[in-house]
Structure formats: structure tokens, C-alpha cells
Amino acid sequence: MRGSSVFAVPDPVPALALRGAGRRYGERAALRDLTLELEAGRTLVVFGPNGAGKTTLLRMLATLLRPHAGEVSVLGHQLPDEGYAVRGRVGFLGHEALLYRELSGRENLRFHARLHRVGVQRVDEVLDAVGMTARCGDPVAELSRGMVQRLAIARAVLHEPDLLLLDEPLANLDPAAAAQVAPLIGAGSGRTRVVTSHDPAGGLRGADLALGLKGGRVALLAPAAEVDPGQIAELYR
């Protein structure tokens, strides 16, 4: 009945829809012919050896790199043309913290809060959530790697993004910190997530869809529940 009605509700727009997406750096293809869909609220985990194209994929989804081939739609908006509608709705945690070394953690977050039009009380909230309240006045240059990573996580979730793009988010974090940030960026955060990982078992946990890249090509794409960690380890051989 419903399907034939003119008032039928369309399928909810997938959070990510890529068709034949590709990206080059000069002549070198970093990502080729990637086709996938991810529903809102789900997690995609991306595996692959160094140079496989994981960061390239994340930066493309974050609107920082424009796709050179295929179609890329993020949160229902076509990239690169509708990038303006996507910006501000993604939380990007890359290899670099995107924090000024001479500013304190709080100053950095306040700066980002102003760019994203977020109230200052939210800054204190996220600082507390990542356990950085005590050291938030110190210049970033004087913090340990793990502390900087905590601040970077705080920065990425500051504006309550719908889509989290997390490039090895737990790098440099001790186990306690990893547990502490789980409500912000973990599977329980309720957000759509794309997470890169080099840890097969850990990466598959909490993921819905698994993507394996090798040399920019798709080597594996399957529901996470059907993937065996051994298959992931195979990628790195």
C-alpha cells in the first residue's frame, strides 16, 4: 500500500554515498573507484597499509580535498559543489591536531567555537569530557602527544557534528583516555562515523561496515560482522 502511495516517504538519505569516487595527487592515484553507502548513525571502519588512501578518503569526505572522479555525497550533499552545506556538520580528526602551538588548549577551542558559532560553555564541557580541564591553560607546544590528541578530539566534537571522520583516533592515547573519550567519538556516540584503524579486532568492534584499501583500490568491503580479523591482517601482507 505504502509503496504505491504518492505520499510514500523516500528512503532516508544515506550519510555517505560514493560512486566510483577517485582522487589523484598529480599523476599518482591515491584512491580509485570507491563505491559504498553508509546509513546515518552507522560506523565505517577503514583498514589498509600505510599509503593505502585512508587519509585521502577522510580528507575528501571532509571537503578538504575535492574528488577527481565519481560522485561523492556527504550528508545528502554532493561534493564539491555543496561543500558549504557539509562544512560545520563534520567533525574531522586527522593526523594533525589543527591546534596552534602557542595558544593554550582553551584558547584554541574558543577560537574554533567562535568559527563554528558555538557557545563558550561548550568549550568547558568538552575540555572536561576529554579530561583536559586541569591543563587547558598550557600552550599546546608544552603538552604531551596524548594530551594534544585529547584536545584534538575535543576540537572535533566541539560543534556536535553529525558525521565524525576519525583518522586513527586512539593514536597516542593511554587505555584510560581511550575509555574516557569513547562517549564522544566511540560507537556509543550515536553519530555516523568513519574511522581508520590498523588494529583488526579493535577496529571491527563497534563497526557496521568494513572497508579494506590497498594501493588506493578497494580490497575488501563487507558488513563488519562478516569480516574475520584474519582477512584484515591479510591486507597488510
Partner 1 sequence: MRSTVAALLSKELTLEWRTRESVPAMVLFSIATYVVFHFGLDRDRVTGDLASGVLWVTLLFAAILGVNRLFVAEYEQGGFDGFLLAPVDRTALLVAKALTLFLFLCIVEVVAVPAFALLLLGPPLTQALPELVLVLLLANAGIAVLGTLVAGLAIQTRARDLIVPLIALPLLVPVLLAAARCATPLLQDGGAGALPADWLAILAIYDLLFALIAYAVFDFLLED
Interface residues with ligand ATP (CB under 6 A) are 25, 28, 30, 48, 50-56
65 touches, from ligand ATP, partner 1, Mg ion, none (C-beta below 5 to 8 Å by class) = partner 1
Contacts to partner 1 from residues 171-230, by CB under 8 A: none
List contacts with Mg ion (CB under 5 A).
55
Q: Residue 90 or 204: which CB sits closer to partner 1? A: 90
| CA–CA gap between residue 44 and residue 58 (Å, rounded) | 11
Contacts to partner 1 from residues 112-171, by CB under 8 A: 112, 114-117, 139, 155
Q: Residue 57 or 132: which CB sits closer to ligand ATP? A: 57
Q: Residue 55 or 73: which CB sits closer to Mg ion? A: 55
Bridge partners, residue 134, by sequence? none
* C-alpha triplet 19, 91, 86: angle, nearest 5°: 50
Which one of residues 88, 131, 146, 202 is an interface residue with partner 1 (CB under 8 A)?
A: 88
171 touches, from Mg ion, partner 1, ligand ATP, none (C-beta below 5 to 8 Å by class) = none
Measured from the CB of residue 230, what is the shortest distance to partner 1 in angstroms? 36
151 burial type by CB count under 10 A (0-12 exposed, 13-18 middle, 19+ buried): buried
Measured from the CB of residue 202, what is the shortest distance to partner 1 in angstroms? 26
Measured from the CB of residue 56, what is the shortest distance to Mg ion in angstroms? 8
Which one of residues 8, 84, 201, 233 is an interface residue with partner 1 (CB under 8 A)?
A: 84
| CA–CA gap between residue 31 and residue 21 (Å, rounded) | 8
223 burial type by CB count under 10 A (0-12 exposed, 13-18 middle, 19+ buried): exposed
| CA–CA gap between residue 197 and residue 58 (Å, rounded) | 12
| CA–CA gap between residue 113 and residue 171 (Å, rounded) | 24
Q: How far is CA 20 from CA 29, 78, 100, 193, 204, in A?
A: 13, 14, 36, 21, 24
Give the chain's radius of gyration (CA, Å): 18
Question: Residues interacting with partner 1, by CB under 8 A?
Answer: 62-66, 84, 87-90, 92, 94, 96-103, 107, 111-112, 114-117, 139, 155
